[in-house]
Amino acid sequence: MSQAKYQRVLLKVSGELLAGDEGFGINPSMIDDVADQIKEMVAMKVETAIVIGGGNIFRGIAGSAAGMDRVSADYMGMLATVLNALALQSILEQKGVFTRVQSAIEMKELAEVYIRRKAIRHLEKKRVVIFAAGTGNPYFSTDTAAVLRSIEIDAEVILKGTKVDGVFDKDPMKDPTAKQYSELTYLNVIDRGLKIMDSTAVTLCMDNNLPLIVFNLNEKENIRKVLMGEPVGTLISKADAVEREAHAG
Ligand code: GTP
């Protein structure tokens, strides 16, 4: 197999993606597909870290909109990511992929606590490290956790796996004329209010010059293409990247 472009990456898996068509909970075939893609990353000898969202189970912001205090709701969201992390670990290990789950909130009976140097050691030993419980702090999204962990472990790129093909000028689910960008700068994303990640996550990427690729994780070949450096999805990087619209197909 040919050499991947990256040696160490962090894959952000959205919780919503795991819900599949049901829109809630963990869809067995979706998590199985995600695990297969992660297995492929390992087979390509890419050191792989995962941050998983929790939106398929509970969203802090939605909880606070429903009358809970924001801090409690955010902690519930963090616990939701732990459920997803344990499910993914279990499926990956059934497929023969070695994993470690590290949680930002200590719950030592079921996961290691997050220790940066230990996470890096696991990656060096070719274990997939799944980071659970976000940053461990309320008011921070799992996207921000993904960027933070990427920087901490020296990932070369953050891959944001979603249900859509990349970043569009309009919502592609609502407007069929929406056009996909192939490249954007961090400032484009902020200026145009493109809802890829919250602004904390985007600025943290920008300040640390961490490239981000948004792509469709449902397309089975995508992860391999992304890792080989093929132009899949939307690349968000620093100012000298040229913005242009993606070619259809
Ligand atoms: P190396 O020292 O690099 O070989 O890493 P290792 O993870 O194999 O060693 P360690 O002895 O730390 O862990 C052995 C097993 O226990 C692994 O499956 C870890 O995920 C798990 N483990 C380690 N620390 C904790 C913890 O605090 N809580 C839980 N629940 N499991 C842990």
The rounded Cα 165 to chain-centroid distance in angstroms is: 14
The full set of domain ranges for the chain reads: 8-237
Q: Ligand 1: does its nearest atom lie under 6 Å from the Cβ of 126? A: no
Q: Which residues of the chain have pLDDT under 50?
A: 241-249
Give the CA distances from residue 175 to residues 81, 82, 151, 168, 183, in Å, rounded to whole numbers and listed in that order.
31, 34, 35, 10, 20
The per-residue pLDDT for 244 is 45
Task: Note whether 206 and 154 are within 8 A (CB).
Answer: no
The per-residue pLDDT for 2 is 63
pLDDT number for residue 240: 62
- Residue 1 is predicted with a pLDDT of 58
Identify the pLDDT of residue 153: 98
Q: Which residues contact 159 (CB under 8 A, 6 or more apart)?
A: 9, 10, 11, 12, 212, 213, 215, 223, 226
- Closest-CA residue, ligand 1 atom 5, reads 122
Of the residues 92, 100, 121, which should be mutated to test ligand 1's pocket, given the most ligand atoms within 8 Å of the CB? 100
Determine whether the shortest distance from the Cβ of 125 to ligand 1 is under 6 A.
yes
- pLDDT, residue 247, reads 40
Q: Which atom of ligand 1 is nearest to the CA of 101?
A: 20
Q: Which atom of ligand 1 is nearest to the CA of 111?
A: 30
Euclidean distance between CA atoms 246 and 248, whole angstroms: 6
Q: Which CATH superfamily is domain 8-237 in?
A: Acetylglutamate kinase-like (3.40.1160.10)
Could you tell me the distance, in angstroms and rounded to a whole number, from the CA of residue 135 to the centre of ligand 1? 21
Distance CA 172, CA 165 (A): 9
Nearest CA to ligand 1 atom 4: 122
The SS3 call for residue 62 is helix
Atom of ligand 1 nearest to the CA of 121: 3
Q: What is the pLDDT of residue 195?
A: 87
